Amino acid sequence: MVAYLPDGRKLVIQCKKYAPHRSVSSQDMQKFVGTARPEHGADVALFVTTCRAFTRDALGLALRQDIVALHRDLLGSWVKGAHLESLIPLNGSGAGTRRRR
């Protein structure tokens, strides 16, 4: 999906509906990295999933490539009205019910 933020930046979103027990793999993230900016010209690239977590490798790749990773908890906050701009700095923080901190 391609959209535009209020400030005019191009937003490219990858949405994946996965079972809650599944994690987004590095391979899933690599596919998105390969298209978000080179093919679609994203200023902001967002990978959204219904599962609870990203693997360590997937999240590391997202951080290195400046991809915003939103798991089900952050997605829920967005759906409930949180502004996307407030969620971007959280970028994959937490991991559903298996929080690490």
Question: Which pTM was predicted?
Answer: 0.79
Residues near 11 by Cβ (< 8 Å), separated by ≥ 6?
Answer: 2, 3, 4, 5, 42, 43, 44, 45, 46
Please indicate, yes or no, if residue 64 is contained in any of the structural domains: yes
Please indicate, yes or no, if residue 4 is contained in any of the structural domains: no
Can you give the CATH number for the domain in which 77 is found?
3.40.1350.10
- The range of the structural domain enclosing residue 71 comes to 10-90
Q: How many domains does the chain have?
A: 1
Please indicate, yes or no, if residue 1 is contained in any of the structural domains: no
- 40-96 pLDDT tens trace: 899 999 999 888 889 999 999 998 998 988 888 887 787 888 887 777 777 766 444
Residues 10, 7: Cα–Cα separation, whole Å? 9
Please indicate, yes or no, if residue 98 is contained in any of the structural domains: no
